[in-house]
Chain A
């Protein structure tokens, strides 16, 4: 894990958002709602059809955008990137499955809605992110029962080290919280954190909040970026 560095981290939850390497965080104002998918500061170019996305897809997009901004990337310029996307969550797309099939049943089992059916894949939110951000590397969902972010980052590192992509966006997104990491090859220096140091400092089963706090500690320890 020493040759792959974290270049950006973004998170959102029920009360706020953060960009870890830039030490930026904020709380939602009254009525702002979560996730902040209409915020032009986050999405300079509006995400096509985002109003139709399910909540998990919106959370995924928001966390990815925050991570990319944290890495200092310009968003919405139409650039295609040799970057892969691997994502995980707790329950796959069970809620989307239920929404789609309930709607079909309510309609008399005659006609399903295509725009609900397309979200009945665990990889659908990732696909929306890949399309909006122009990510042309590998794109897949991996569920890690009993595991989580450490395994997700390990997969992203494996894919970079194996030459599958020039960089990876790794995201864990549920309906109430999401965190995304930008990983790329590198040997240290300013503007990045060690994946290995991060993972070593956390117990198995650590939650998103534990990860964010660990990252913030690392930032303080390095004097910031």
Chain B
């Protein structure tokens, strides 16, 4: 059973919608701005990729303010039986911050099931939904789960909703791990020092090929393969040999029925941390047998959007096939020797790119890979 993407929307630090996001990515510039919503004086970094123009204050959480415009057009439009999957790492954790600082709202308002309930209420969906969390691979894991359910015939319509916000909660945490690059994330750069926190929200509506055909839905692309693995190695550091990620990619290739020779480009997790990017290059070299394929990371432009990263990167990868352009890796100055010949700071025009790979990894050694077809 084919799994098709029939609708999408997103909001990133480049603004609302894929056109704004794509234009920003193709500019090759970072969308990083100074953080002013909380003090960063005690930290070694002071910038983040923040969504512009979101109203401040009020009772709602930042992720709900990000999601509201994306969900509104879908309200009442989802067929009965559509499963809603929420992918996030911290959800409405800003509500918990407020609770601990001022006593309101109630602590439970920051629970992930409460957020899922809010999303379903806006959508007008009454059936049970699910929350998927696999660290920074959360939304690629959710897409894989939704695709599995469709492929097995258990569902024919799944909406994946992904979101995470830049908050003091996560900023202080990444600072404590010395994971923030004060100059901004430089994925695959020789001098990279860490990530830049980012925020984003997105929705992807997955549908079985059969239902999409029956309803004359336009396909934006196919989720053809997926695979997940765990390094089983360390809570915050990836396996040095890239074996875990390579394993996830192999599973995704097998599921999609493709081999490495058919892959036109790779959307890497590419956080900009020394260990992550080195691990990924080892995995890619292993999977592609040292034969370079264009690899890029959008995190030098959009920051690390955590639980939303996989979904945003999947949508960019689909757009890259539509445009037949591999986007540049922003903020890249001097390519790491291990990535020379694979990663470029310039966009690359291609021809016949109809299969791409998108990968994510996260805390706990989790890895996820998606194979997408145009």
Contact = CB atoms under 8 A, between A and B. Distances in A.
Interface stretch (A25-33, A38-46, A118-126, A189-197): A118-126
B77 interface: no
B130 A143 contact: yes
Contacts of A94: 96, 107-108, 110-111
B105 interface: no
B169 A141 contact: no
Interface string A150-175: 01000100110111100000000000
A162 B152 contact: yes
Nearest to B110: A94
A121 B251 contact: no
A152 to B, nearest CB: 10
A128 B231 CA distance: 11
Contacts of A128: 235, 364
Category for how many chain B residues contact A = 35 or more
Contacts of B235: 118, 124, 127-128, 131
B318 interface: no
Contacts of A126: 364
Interface stretch (B203-211, B213-221, B222-230, B271-279): B222-230
B340 interface: no
A145 B125 CA distance: 14
Interface stretch (A5-13, A63-71, A107-115): A107-115
A146 B129 CA distance: 9
A91 interface: yes
Interface string B334-374: 00000000000000000000000000000111100000000
A143 B107 contact: no
A139 interface: yes
Given A97-B93, A114-B173, A141 B134 contact: yes
Contacts of A100: 169, 173
A135 B228 CA distance: 12
B321 to A, nearest CB: 25
Interface string B108-152: 101111001100000000001111111100000100010011011
A61 to B, nearest CB: 13
Interface SS of A by simple majority: mixed
A33 to B, nearest CB: 24
B177 interface: yes
B172 interface: yes
Given A140-B133, A159-B148, A164 B228 contact: yes
B328 interface: no
Contacts of B149: 158
B228 A98 contact: no
Contacts of B42: 109-111
Interface of B: 39, 42, 89-90, 93, 96-97, 100-101, 107-108, 110-113, 116-117, 128-135, 141, 145, 148-149, 151-152, 154, 168-169, 172-173, 175-177, 227-236, 244, 247, 251, 254-255, 363-366
5 contacts: A118-B236, A120-B173, A121-B89, A136-B231, A140-B228
Given A109-B168, A144-B130, 8 more contacts: A91-B113, A97-B93, A102-B100, A127-B366, A131-B364, A136-B232, A143-B133, A158-B149
Interface of A: 80, 84-85, 91-92, 94, 97-98, 100-102, 104-105, 109-114, 117-118, 120-124, 126-128, 130-131, 133-147, 151, 155, 158-159, 161-164
